[in-house]
């Protein structure tokens, strides 16, 4: 069983703005795209768009024409909706590509630098922390973002259980703001990058810290396939809030609670590289497609910082200003 989702009646507004996009289903029914209102109502978009095969990604493929039509539907008081509580909430989109930003929150990177001490590095913690702070200052002024790719198969719903593989010795949480692409982007300048973002959602980019680095071949470095891409390691959603409803993506609060205790609580102001810089940088090499995700990194307060990694029965609750809340429960593989 998955963790029970947020009760719409217990929340004054589920997200910022007049509407959001979600992928929903009735019990034993197919997944369909839905317009969700802040008061917890849902509209099956297959009906007004007249397309039984319609998906959220299909809407994003035609975002420039779909967005105003969705806004009109949200404003139409005669539109027939149903309570969101009637439906199961899935990951809001199935992306073709997932771009993940590493080392993008100043304090988080400093914490990781101290936690992942290289073999033989016996310097005091304060010295290694000061070194990391100097590196962060230099990166912000002179360097480029660090972006790698993830697998869409790692994505799961915002209220689904997360299975912890038996080989993952140090599973950790990483709450992130995710930008959702709404217009193909290739070699776009920073100044135009946000024009290619349709909206934002929440991602929890789980990482097994024990397999981040290849111990057998240290000269190779990081192993993101192994450490980040187990099935369900990227809870996503609950919905996509249009970019027009988020005044400033560089001024949002990210909060992750573990069993009710706050572990991460930071503003996107702490990001080293902005959303626009990340999108522009990824587009230098890749062609970003509608529905693709650009994860923007995670702030300080992960499990390595607290000396407390994920285990069977843990419940994570992640929220981002204006984007809602996701709740997921961890289940050990042997107990799943």
- Which parts of the chain are beta strand (E)? 20-25, 32-36, 41-44, 82-83, 88-90, 98-102, 146-150, 155-156, 162-164, 171-172, 175-181, 197-204, 207-208, 234-235, 241-242, 253-258, 261-267, 293-295, 315-320, 324-332
| pLDDT-derived band at 27, boundaries 50, 70, 90 | confident
Q: What is the pLDDT of residues 259-298, one digit of tens each?
A: 999 999 999 999 999 999 999 999 999 999 999 999 999 9
Residue 24 has pLDDT above 80, yes or no: yes
Mean pLDDT, rounded, for 173-202: 98
Residue 11 has pLDDT above 60, yes or no: no
Q: Which long-range contacts does 5-9 make (Cβ < 8 Å, 24+ apart)?
A: 5/89, 5/158, 5/159, 5/238, 5/327, 6/238, 6/324, 6/325, 6/327, 7/85, 8/39, 8/40, 8/83, 8/84, 8/85, 9/40, 9/85
**Whole-number pLDDT of residue 208:** 97
**Whole-number pLDDT of residue 241:** 98
Mean pLDDT, rounded, for 45-62: 97
| pLDDT-derived band at 107, boundaries 50, 70, 90 | confident
| pLDDT-derived band at 324, boundaries 50, 70, 90 | very high
**CATH classification number, 98-335, choose in 1.20.1250.20, 3.40.190.10, 3.40.1160.10, 3.90.850.10:** 3.90.850.10
Q: What is the pLDDT of residues 113-129, one digit of tens each?
A: 777 777 778 888 888 88
Mean pLDDT, rounded, for 93-119: 86
| pLDDT-derived band at 221, boundaries 50, 70, 90 | confident
Residue 103 has pLDDT above 60, yes or no: yes
pLDDT above 70 as % of the chain: 96
Mean pLDDT, rounded, for 225-238: 97
**Whole-number pLDDT of residue 3:** 63
| pLDDT-derived band at 336, boundaries 50, 70, 90 | very low
In whole angstroms, give the CA distance from residue 74 to residue 22. 14
In which residue are the tokens 């988080």 written?
108
| pLDDT-derived band at 6, boundaries 50, 70, 90 | low
**Whole-number pLDDT of residue 244:** 97
In whole angstroms, give the CA distance from residue 56 to residue 208. 30
Q: Where are the domains of the chain?
A: 8-90, 98-335
**Whole-number pLDDT of residue 295:** 98
């Amino acid at each position: 069983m998955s963790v029970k989702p947020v009760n719409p009646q217990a929340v004054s507004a589920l997200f910022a703005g007049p509407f959001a996009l979600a992928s929903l289903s009735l019990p034993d029914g197919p997944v369909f795209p839905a317009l969700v209102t802040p008061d917890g109502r849902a509209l099956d978009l297959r009906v007004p768009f007249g397309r039984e095969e319609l998906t959220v990604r299909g809407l994003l493929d035609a975002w420039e024409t779909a967005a105003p039509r969705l806004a009109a539907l949200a404003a139409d008081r005669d539109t027939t909706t149903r309570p969101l509580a009637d439906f199961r909430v899935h990951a809001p989109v199935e992306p073709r590509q997932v771009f993940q930003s590493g080392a993008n929150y100043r304090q988080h990177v400093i914490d990781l630098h101290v936690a992942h001490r290289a073999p033989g590095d016996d310097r005091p913690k304060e010295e290694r922390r000061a070194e990391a702070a100097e590196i962060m200052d230099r990166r912000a002024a002179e360097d480029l973002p660090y972006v790698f790719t993830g697998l869409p198969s790692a994505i799961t719903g915002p209220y689904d259980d997360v299975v912890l593989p038996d080989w993952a010795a140090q599973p950790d949480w990483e709450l992130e703001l995710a930008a959702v692409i709404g217009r193909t982007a290739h070699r776009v300048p920073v100044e135009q990058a946000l024009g290619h973002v349709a909206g934002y959602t929440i991602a929890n980019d789980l990482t097994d810290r024990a397999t981040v680095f290849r111990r057998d071949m240290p000269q190779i470095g990081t192993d993101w396939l192994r450490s980040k891409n187990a099935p369900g390691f990227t809870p996503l959603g609950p919905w996509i809030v249009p970019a027009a409803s988020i005044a400033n993506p560089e001024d949002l609060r990210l909060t992750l609670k573990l069993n009710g205790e706050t572990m991460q609580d930071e503003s996107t102001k702490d990001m080293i590289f902005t959303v626009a810089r990340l999108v522009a940088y990824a587009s230098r090499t890749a062609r970003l497609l509608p529905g693709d995700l650009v994860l923007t990194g995670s702030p300080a307060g992960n499990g390595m910082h607290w000396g407390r990694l994920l285990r069977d029965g843990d419940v994570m609750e992640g929220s981002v200003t204006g984007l809602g809340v996701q709740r997921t429960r961890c289940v050990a593989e042997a107990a799943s």
